[in-house]
């Protein structure tokens, strides 16, 4: 359904506004569907995001501040997210050897296992997005990069 119907707004100030609104709306839509999936595994979206970052390390530990940098939602409180993962035995924490301010985090076997359970479900979900071609998807991604670049901080 078109964004006009979804939010019952017939006109937009300009194409850029329409696009921006659709972008936020679609992101919320996507996050909501995916959250439902993660909820089955008692994970929040942010916890899942951290877990995936941990797995991406392939055995190497990663410090809390580096996790924060890689989060999609930069405002997350990574300390507390890691706390939650520790409670579930999905992650382990240890002091960083060469910088005692920092804390190294690593995924556990159980953390890997829960991700492996979720993987096919996420993949299945992502595959539904192939109403657009792979080329279009990459083009869309490139356009998003451009948009962010254009607004200097």
Partner DNA sequence: AATTTTCAAATGTATCTACATTTATTGTAA
Partner DNA sequence: TTACAATAAATGTAGATACATTTGAAAATT
Contacts to DNA by CB under 7 A: 35, 39, 44-46, 63-66, 68, 73, 75-84, 93, 96, 99-103
19-27, 88-96, 99-107, 109-117 -> range binding its own copies (CB under 8 A):
19-27
C-beta neighbour count of 49 within 10 angstroms: 19
Please, where are the H alpha helices in 7-153?
15-39, 45-56, 64-70, 78-87, 109-127, 134-150
Please say whether the beta carbons of 51 and 107 come within 8 A: yes
Q: Which does 25 bind (CB under 5 to 8 A by kind): its own copies, DNA, none?
A: its own copies
C-beta neighbour count of 76 within 10 angstroms: 18
> Is residue 94 classed as helix, strand or coil in its secondary structure?
strand
97 in contact with its own copies (CB under 8 A): no
6-14, 86-94, 98-106, 108-116 -> range binding its own copies (CB under 8 A):
6-14
Min dist. Cβ of residue 36 to its own copies (A): 10
79 in contact with its own copies (CB under 8 A): no
Query: Please, which residues have CB within 8 angstroms of residue 119's CB and are 6 or more apart in sequence?
Result: none
Interface positions with its own copies (CB under 8 A):
1-3, 6-9, 13-33, 56, 69-75, 123, 125-132, 134-138, 140-141, 143-151
């Amino acid at each position: 359904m078109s964004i006009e119907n979804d939010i019952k707004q017939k006109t937009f100030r300009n194409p850029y506004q329409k696009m921006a609104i659709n972008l936020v709306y679609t992101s919320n839509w996507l996050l909501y569907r995916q959250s439902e999936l993660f909820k089955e595994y008692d994970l929040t979206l942010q916890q899942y995001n951290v877990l995936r970052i941990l797995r991406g390390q392939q055995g190497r530990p990663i410090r809390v501040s580096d996790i924060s940098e890689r989060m999609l939602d930069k405002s997350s409180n990574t300390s507390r997210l890691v706390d939650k993962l520790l409670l579930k035995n999905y992650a382990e924490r240890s002091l960083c050897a060469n910088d005692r301010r920092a804390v190294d985090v690593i995924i556990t076997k159980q953390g890997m296992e829960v991700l492996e359970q979720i993987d096919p479900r996420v993949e299945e979900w992502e595959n539904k997005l192939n109403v657009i071609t792979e080329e279009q998807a990459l083009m869309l991604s490139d356009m998003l990069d451009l948009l962010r670049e254009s607004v200097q901080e």
